[in-house]
Structure 1
Amino acid sequence: MMNDIKQPFDESDVKVLSRERAFNGFFKIDRYRLSHRLFEGGWCKELQRELFVRGESTCVLPYDAKTDQVVLLEQFRVGALDHGQSPWLLELVAGINDEGETPETVARREGVEEAGIELGELRPICQYLVSPGGTNEKVHLYCGQVDVSTAQGIHGLEYEGEDIKVHVVQASQAFDYVASGKINNAASIIALQWLQLNRDILRADWSER
């Protein structure tokens, strides 16, 4: 029998003394002064923390159950510089959720913009916090039904500086990319490992549609 972890604290156990916008560019950074309760009782000393304000985003792994292939996107990512690897990463379809947009709407919009594909059923995988020690970004992660025969070419919005190449690969090859480290970004790893666990279910559900 598993023991459930009881978490005694919530947002009411944090005192936000101030919050100011420290940087307001393409991305935003807020500076907090705060204090929070301690496990042994009382409150911690005043802390200063900078937060990378990113909000919510949506990522989707397009999967064709009939051919057992996935769609991966290749594009330049500045955050991959200085890590001894190519900064052109293999990733999922992804986009930032605009105000009032549902994650499903973002997934379908980005499928068209980034890969030229129309997504069918969206199967939820999970929601997760990217790196809560420094950013508030929350990702909504899906696997999306797709016909890979429509996935090809170079895509992206020029005014956003996007230059995105579409790749169609066998699911087993994508799993090998994760195992070898060729794919090393969190959303792609989580989605592909989920697909490994759920591929038989999706093939049964989607192959005849």
Structure 2
Amino acid sequence: MTSSLGVDTPDHRGRTGLHLAGRDLDRNPDVRIRDVELTSQGWHVLRRTTFDYRRRDGRWETHQRETYDRGNGAVVLPYDTERSRVLLTRQFRYPAYVNGHPDGMLIEAAAGLLDAQDPHTAIRRESAEELGIRLGPLTHVLDAYMSPGSVTERLYFFAAPYTPADRTGTGGGLEEEGEDIEVLELPFAEALAMARDGRITDGKTILLLQWAALSGPFARKSSV
């Protein structure tokens, strides 16, 4: 029998059994998984799943869906209420560039994949790598599926205070992972205006800025 990477032989990330994800799902009595096909495994995993679905009128139909599995992630908005500042990043995002963004340089809240860590640990790691800061106490804002039609990722949203004394480095990300991240410290009012006028187009960042204005640390200082 021929071995397959990611199936019975570890792939470049040490993973096996990638074809098994979802086969044993039984939480929804109106969904019956029939087959899971591993179609691609690069850094992330693409699967084609065949399943039976019972419609609201009782009829069963067979469907196929492709899912893109990049793991779960976490995102954080660091804020300084004394100086009315927030920390964001700017980096090149090819998917946005190829889909019409003028230069692909997106302003975002710091984020990253969990990589087998819990969300709190992962976002502190990402903040140190990308922003060069040590976060204060984390506030869990919400969890969300950002593109549930095809992407499996569940994103954990946080906010945390910081001060100039919390700097631990220059940030910028990890060069060995191809990261080249600019750290932006912006007045909160300016960041919120950028989300409203289209200079910030990243969904997770817009959500956190709106939360901060409506019910978060800047609620009383915002004109919203």
Q: For 1:200 and 1:58, locate their aligned partners in 2 and report how far apart those are by CA, in whole Å.
A: 19
| Larger RCO of the pair (alpha carbons < 8 Å, separation 6+) | 1
Query: Mapping of 1:32-51 within 5 angstroms?
Result: 32-44=49-61, 46-51=62-67
TM-score (norm 2): 0.81
Q: Does 1:136 align with 2:161?
A: no
Identify the range of structure 1 (171-180 vs 150-159) with the bigger mean alpha-carbon deviation.
150-159
Q: What pairs with 1:121-200 in structure 2 (closer than 5 Å)?
A: 121-148=137-164, 150=167, 153=170, 155-200=172-217
Q: How far did residue 42 of structure 1 move?
A: 2.0
Matched residue SS, 1:81: helix
Identity of aligned residues (%): 33
The answer on whether the counterparts of 2:68 and 2:151 sit within 8 Å (CA) in structure 1 is: yes
Q: 4+ residue runs of structure 1 moved beyond 6 angstroms?
A: 201-204
How does 1:24-39 map onto structure 2 within 5 Å? 24-39=41-56
CA RMSD of aligned residues (A): 2.0
CA gap of 1:118–1:200, structure 2 versus 1, over 3 A, is closer
Q: 2:129, 2:171 within 8 Å by CA — same for their partners in 1?
A: no
Give me the whole-angstrom Cα distance separating, in 1, the residues matched to 2:64 and 2:125: 38
Name structure 1 gaps, 5 residues minimum: 1-9, 205-209
Q: How many residues align?
A: 193
Counterpart contact for 1:71–1:151, Cα < 8 Å: no
Structure 1 residue identity aligned to 2:96: A
> Residues 179 and 128 from structure 1, CA distance in 2 versus in 1: closer, same or farther, beyond 3 angstroms?
same
Q: 1:13 aligns with which of 15, 30, 36?
A: 30
One-letter amino acid of the counterpart of residue 180, structure 1 = D
With structure 1 as the length reference, what TM-score do the two structures score?
Answer: 0.86
- Considering fraction of residues, name the structure with more helix: 1
